[in-house]
Amino acid sequence: MAEENANKILALLTVYLSREFSNSKSFGESVMGHTVNAHGEDYEFYLRVTPPPGGIWDSETLVIARIGFKDRRRGYGRNFMEFLVECASTLGYSKIGMECTNENSEAFGRRLGLQGHGPHNHLLGTVFNVACTLDRKQKTKEFTNMSL
């Protein structure tokens, strides 16, 4: 089940990356057990899909173990979280986690409604809450643009 879900997410991720980073060279996407790895000139992702039992994450959690973008503050992180919400909903995940966050990724996760989870700066939130936060932020942005 874990590797099957990882392959499904990899297929969706490949489409997402080609759409989002059409001018970027991809260095590789791969699945190894319950992990998905993708990196290119402009991005790097490492996801834990259906984490193994007995750890801090349960099987209903889609975990971002690493996320990075060459250019920051361009909306790539937000777009990626929208993508993960879609994947999580499609594949039946109810939670999204971020593993071992640093100052920047923790601030990003908290803005999206994730909360502290266990040791080592982990964050966790429900897919529903993240989707609501993303939707609320989008509506605020649209209203602000209309007001200008």
pTM of the model: 0.85
Query: From the CB of residue 11, how many other CB atoms can be counted at a distance below 10 Å?
Result: 12
Q: Which pLDDT score, from 0 to 100, does residue 142 have?
A: 54
Q: Tokens representing 50?
A: 């259906």
The CATH class given to the 2-147 domain equals alpha beta
Q: Tokens representing 37?
A: 């790895």
Q: Which residues pair with 44 in a beta bridge?
A: 39, 68
How many Å is the Cα radius of gyration of the chain? 15
Q: Which pLDDT score, from 0 to 100, does residue 143 have?
A: 46
Mean pLDDT by 10 residues, the chain (148 residues): 86 90 79 89 90 85 92 86 93 94 92 92 95 78 52
Separation in Å, CA 5 to CA 30, 33, 42: 13, 10, 25
Q: Which pLDDT score, from 0 to 100, does residue 147 have?
A: 52
Antiparallel, parallel or unpaired: β 61-69 and 95-98: parallel
Long-range Cβ contacts of 85-90 (<8 Å, 24+ apart):
85/127, 85/130, 85/131, 85/134, 86/12, 87/9, 87/12, 87/13, 87/62, 88/62, 88/127, 89/127, 89/131, 90/12
